Structure 1
Amino acid sequence: MRINRLKITPIGFIVIGLIFACFLFTGTSQADNHGKERGWFEREGQHRPSLFGRDDEGNETAGQMAAWLLAAANLPVVLSMLIRWTNKFVPMVNGLKDALTRFNRLQKKHLMRLHYFINPIVLGVALWHWLSSRCRSTALPEWGFIVMVALIALGLIVKFKLSPKPLRKRVYRLHTQPLLFLAMVMVLTIGHLIVD
């Protein structure tokens, strides 16, 4: 079985952005009433007591920490993807293209350590956030968390070469699928909009 890397063109990004904007608009319009009147996505008694015994609506600090750490940890990856796609799809002078390629190598050399070390920390902070603020109104944040766990586990398997040698290329390709990361971000964002 061969897993091909999905290539997203700039038009694909525009389409994905428009779909995301539609979900954002519908999610916020239905979930922003905070108990005043129940919308499509809300049910009575939706917030469960956390495992720590508090009946709060969420540990916002842990959630914000997880979001910012996730952004910092994946900044080098996003920069690298943007530079590669720019070099591929945007017509440029060769000198500028070479400069972007050199910058990409340099930033990957120095910033990929963030990716390796912060993502497992993100997993711990996200777990703390989930344990202290579970909500029954939607399961989307849990699905996003499952995708996050899978992506981080695949990353650890790639980094420490834990898979059998014939499977390493497939595991790497699966871990580096941009659509998986975009799906995780979209599911987490929409789920949190519904919960709020």
Structure 2
Amino acid sequence: MDRKTILSKVDHTLLLQPSTWEEIQIICDDAVTYGTASVCIPPCYVKQAKEYLGDKMAVCTVIGFPNGNHTTACKEFETKDALDNGADEIDMVINIGALRAKEYDYVLNEMKSLKAICGDKILKVIIETCLLTEEEKIKMCELVTASGADYIKTSTGFSTSGATFADIELFAKHVGPNVKIKAAGGISSFDDAEKFMGLGADRLGTSRLVKIMKAEK
């Protein structure tokens, strides 16, 4: 698989707390230059980024990030605000404690609510695989499928570890045909990116692949 194809599946990401607008601007420029799928940035920069990019690049942002234990009402407000500011894609974090307590209706209804707000905009659901058992991961594949969300996503990149090949294989076996897969966190080479895609990932959350391209250039 050529690098251009891989980059076209990348959500070029900068979510670190100290990030400045000048740094966000740079990743926006790089995303356009290298033809990524989107830029994934903090909510506070969505409006500026959308005004800066126009239709040249999709803007993705995060909701309930990174812990996921905001109230549903808070996540709903965040989502509406992000969309009003021009976000094209939403990556939400589930309430992990609710999942672990087997409060499946809560988790499902929250995803359904955010998808209803998103409408035809893409909703990706971050389940933070490093904190879950295999049984819980499989259950989330079922719930994301039932919710109508567009993607299941491995990780925030802010917990104990990121995407693994085993998790993508597991997702591919258990999600419905309406759900795509995003691997995120720790993807550091084009070889790994290609393997993730070969196992079933349709999107990759990373900043390192563009950094590799820039370093080589």
Q: TM-score, normalised by structure 1?
A: 0.28
Task: Name the structure with the higher strand share.
Answer: 2
Give TM-score, length-normalised by structure 2. 0.26
Return the structure number with greater helix share: 1
